[in-house]
Structure 1
Amino acid sequence: MTQILHADKTGVTRAAALLRDGALVAFGTETVYGLGADATNAQAVAAIFHAKNRPRFNPLICHYPSADRAFHDVLANPQARHVAEAFWPGPLTLVLPRRSDCPVALLTGAGLDTLAVRVPGHPDALALLRAAARPIAAPSANRSGQVSPTSAQHVLDGLQGRIAAVLDSGPCRVGVESTVLDLSGLAPVLLRAGGVSVEDLVACIGPIQRGGAHDAAGITLRSPGLMVSHYAPGLPVRLNAATVAAEEALLAFGPVLPGARCLFQLSPSGDTTEAAARLFEGLRWLDAEGGRLGAGGIAVMPIPDGGLGLAINDRLRRAAAPRGG
């Protein structure tokens, strides 16, 4: 059963301890309730996708108690510092390049070299983030495709028994998701309208481009979501491999195919949650190590669609998609 915790000192302390232990805890913000996990723990982040039945690994927003803490993990340009000073804490998410020493798990950012960060404008959320003392990844606390929750009961309606606890902060004040602003490129790009108006952002930093490209499911390509071949490995990827050629590196799942001289094991036991937690690390490692050893490609063993397998295979199909064009 999912615990219901009151948003007092005792409840916040308990919720923070659960997060540090790798459990999932929903908590209220000024926008909607988020489904929180330790963003530095790939296994905990994988559990978010499992709990939500999320069919693809979209980037998740990392929540911090202050701008200073957020900017320890991402590279903040002057525009980012300016809008952070104006709108944080508050319903604004910034997409910025990851720092080279960023401790956030690659799965949290869907393997991208950018990270979505925000400082929520709710005292209970800020208290939880301070007590947890680590970045907390938190998409909306609902099953994938359902309406975002604005109360603890909404969370329980969809996730009862699938998460450890809900920190009940009462109804959300804003009730719509945060605005997402990409400041990782040459010009600011609005990726999602939300709790901070475009007019207020333009008044703060000047003209903003609109992110208009979506994939077939209507997902914004930059964040959250991925282009078909976005950030694919440099080596070509071959899916559903029953054998591995001498010139191929191997992304293994379960019992290893014979003949692999460069391999990365996603899960010896064939556990899709463990595999999801290791997927982006594995692709990057094989790309680098396989390239160093002269491998001509990456062979990927079959992964069933059960559990998080559907999301893993979605990402692998994107990695294997034809390049260019």
Structure 2
Amino acid sequence: MTAKIIHISEGEEAALQAAQAVLLQGHPVAIPTETVYGLAADATNPLAVTRIYETKGRPRFNPLICHMANLAMAETYADFDPVSRRLAERFWPGPLTLILPLKPGSGIHALATAGLDTVGIRVPQGIAATLIGAFGKPLAAPSANTSGKISPTSALHVAEDLGSKLALILDAGAAPVGVESTIVRAAKDRIHLLRPGGISAEELQAATGLPVVRAQSPSPTIEAPGMLASHYAPAAPVRLNADSVKAGEALICFGETKVTGMEQAVLVLNLSPTADLREAAANLFDYLKKADAVAIKGIAVTSISVEGLGEAINDRLVRAAAPRE
């Protein structure tokens, strides 16, 4: 099987109909979101969810985010506390996932939640939300890549990795955010940040007036996707905060950082020459893939600010550089 790629620009209605046909058969479809491309399947169908895990080679103890068409749809599946509702109203549709208690008999299958009594819910932007609304049920949708590897920010990335395992990939061009959603669990007096992402901690605090508390890393328990110590990893070893380059390494830099031995690098990529963190986030996974394709000895990455969106970028790089099990 080789995946068919449908370009959204060539006809959104045809793309939606083709995707719904595959989803109704209980198979996953690769769909574009503003964060990364997702591997989407019916969250209420155990066979469909199983196929997500099988396609990705993903551990079944690692829960999936369930994507909704809008807040009203989300309210039929999960219970919202006042803080979570405020966050949803402020940031949805957008790159924020809320961990919420499941409603009894919600219909979301336990395989999608890894047996937890909570569920991660997000309302994406663009055609993903349109597809969910037309399908009428939530879509479980982790990133459309082999588990633990670099997340895809284009249809080409998906096709190169999972194209032989899928029937359909929807193509809407490059994902504009470029890193996965921020995942939070709200409390009355604080917000627990489980995974940094496309919404910064500063934005969360500004929206609620509550302090943001970071989760322990690596976490002893898995409450949400993206909490494994090793994740988003290229095949080549990754070396962080590099101020020099070794022969045979690819170099990923940021801003105007000066790096000793740059001439030895097999490839030099700059996430953002102007030190724009949004540009860096959008380029991160694509540049990791490009560096991984040519690196002989490894990938050296210079230091990147941890402010704002930089927290999410550094989180992904730390997990990419973590020891492999």
TM range (shorter): 0.5 to 0.7
Deviation at 1:76, TM superposition (A): 0.3
User: Hey, what does 1:77 align to over in structure 2?
Assistant: 81
Question: Would you say the 8 A contact 1:49–1:57 is kept in 2?
Answer: no
User: Hey, what does 2:132 align to over in structure 1?
Assistant: 129
Pair 1:31 & 2:35 matched:
yes
Q: Report the aligned-residue RMSD.
A: 1.9
Pair 1:120 & 2:124 matched:
yes
Question: Would you say the 8 A contact 2:78–2:101 is kept in 1?
Answer: yes
Question: Would you say the 8 A contact 1:33–1:155 is kept in 2?
Answer: yes
CA shift digits 1:167-198 (9 cap, x unpaired): 11111000000000112787421000000011
Deviation at 1:129, TM superposition (A): 1.1
Evaluate the alpha carbon distance shift between residue 30 and residue 113 of structure 1 in structure 2; reply closer, same or farther with a 3 A threshold.
Answer: same
Q: Aligned partners of 2:98, 2:213: CA distance in 1, in Å? A: 14
User: Hey, what does 1:264 align to over in structure 2?
Assistant: none
Give the alignment partner of residue 93 of structure 2, picking from 89, 94, 109: 89
Pair 1:174 & 2:177 matched:
yes
Q: Aligned partners of 1:99, 1:186: CA distance in 2, in Å? A: 23
User: Hey, what does 1:99 align to over in structure 2?
Assistant: 103
Question: Would you say the 8 A contact 1:140–1:148 is kept in 2?
Answer: yes
Deviation at 1:213, TM superposition (A): 4.4
Aligned amino acid, residue 224 of structure 2: S
Aligned amino acid, residue 150 of structure 2: V
User: Hey, what does 2:223 align to over in structure 1?
Assistant: 222
Question: Would you say the 8 A contact 1:179–1:195 is kept in 2?
Answer: yes
User: Hey, what does 2:168 align to over in structure 1?
Assistant: 165
Question: Would you say the 8 A contact 2:60–2:114 is kept in 1?
Answer: no
Deviation at 1:137, TM superposition (A): 0.2
Give the alignment partner of residue 109 of structure 1, picking from 100, 113, 126: 113
Aligned amino acid, residue 91 of structure 2: F
Aligned amino acid, residue 127 of structure 2: D
Aligned amino acid, residue 149 of structure 1: P
Evaluate the alpha carbon distance shift between residue 184 and residue 25 of structure 1 in structure 2; reply closer, same or farther with a 3 A threshold.
Answer: farther
User: Hey, what does 2:206 align to over in structure 1?
Assistant: 203
Aligned amino acid, residue 190 of structure 1: L
User: Hey, what does 1:145 align to over in structure 2?
Assistant: 148
Between 177-186 and 32-41, the greater mean CA deviation after superposition: 177-186
Aligned amino acid, residue 18 of structure 1: V
Between 177-186 and 20-29, the greater mean CA deviation after superposition: 177-186
Aligned amino acid, residue 127 of structure 1: T
Q: 1:183-262 to 2 correspondence within 5 Å?
A: 183=186, 187-205=190-208, 206-214=210-218, 221-224=222-225
Between 4-13 and 188-197, the greater mean CA deviation after superposition: 4-13
CA shift digits 1:91-132 (9 cap, x unpaired): 0000000001210000000000000000012x2112211111
CA shift digits 1:188-238 (9 cap, x unpaired): 21000000011010011211211114258xxx63213899xxxxxxxxxxx
Deviation at 1:56, TM superposition (A): 3.9
Aligned amino acid, residue 133 of structure 1: G
User: Hey, what does 2:158 align to over in structure 1?
Assistant: 155
Percent identical residues? 46
Aligned amino acid, residue 107 of structure 1: L
Q: Aligned partners of 2:131, 2:200: CA distance in 1, in Å? A: 27
SS of equivalent to 2:121:
strand
Give the alignment partner of residue 11 of structure 1, picking from 11, 15, 18: 15
The count of corresponding residues between Structure 1 and Structure 2 is 223
Between 75-84 and 48-57, the greater mean CA deviation after superposition: 48-57
Question: Would you say the 8 A contact 1:26–1:33 is kept in 2?
Answer: yes
User: Hey, what does 1:51 align to over in structure 2?
Assistant: 55
